[in-house]
Structure 1
Amino acid sequence: MTFYTLKFIQNNQDANKTVWYILMIIATIAMVLFAVLYLRNRFTTRYRDLGIIALLFLLLFVGTRYEKYVQTNAQKSQSVQIVPFIKSVAKDFNVKNSDVMVNSTTLQDGIIVRIRPNKEDYQLNLNTDNNSYTLKRAHVIDHRVIVKN
């Protein structure tokens, strides 16, 4: 079971951005290069075709990047909801924020909350408007835990 700390949730970043930006830059440069070569010699249509292929790759990369951007924003908005919850649990149990771990990066009913000093696990039960919660003692079957800081 994987648990996430408050630090991990707040600092979770998309590491693949750089690769996508490099691919988009390469596709843009290729498209411009093939457009210039086509304009210099209009009878050679292979440059036009290669330019169109580069444009299609660029549109594919931009579309994929936009989809990932939308997903990341949705995930961040859900992660924003779990930060006050972790702080509230830490305050209720009189522990540091870093001692509270959850097994999900989004606030949802049924997640497992682990309080680190005594390693007790609790199951979260949220009310319908997510303004209050109850924690019920839970027992996990697999005690192997991966903690992502």
Structure 2
Amino acid sequence: MLALAGFLALSFAAALGGALFPPDEDYARLVRPSFAPPGWLFGPVWTLLYVMMAVAAWRVWSKTGAWSAPLRAWYLQLTLNAAWTPLFFGLGWRGVALLEMAVLWALILATALRFRPHSGLAFGLMLPYLAWVSFAWVLNGAFWWLNR
């Protein structure tokens, strides 16, 4: 259970960007896409996704160890996950954030596929994250397009 707590801590550390770079007045002035969900939805969705990501990593860790190729992919995608918020909100680099998220999406897919041989559950737990980042990528693109 200590390892699970560690993976939870790592996952939620990636979320710290949201606390350090929250939406500000600049973001409030942006033209919002018509399909943008309400702001209150992001916290609960990301909380659930971070828990699922941590459980997935923990399941794979129990079979492969902490520095296996699947977990190195997980650490890398988590790093990119953490980098998106400062790019989009902190620096206002919405185009760069869009490109970064495309790389993140590919890494999430690669991670899920690397998890699959070790744990079908871990693979499945990564799929909602992939789906949400797919939606977030379209949303990021719409913000960039409408506000360029």
Normalised by the size of structure 2, how large is the TM-score?
0.33
Q: Which has the higher helix share?
A: 2
Larger Rg computed on CA atoms: 1
TM-score (normalizing by structure 1): 0.33
Structure with more of its chain in strand, by fraction: 1
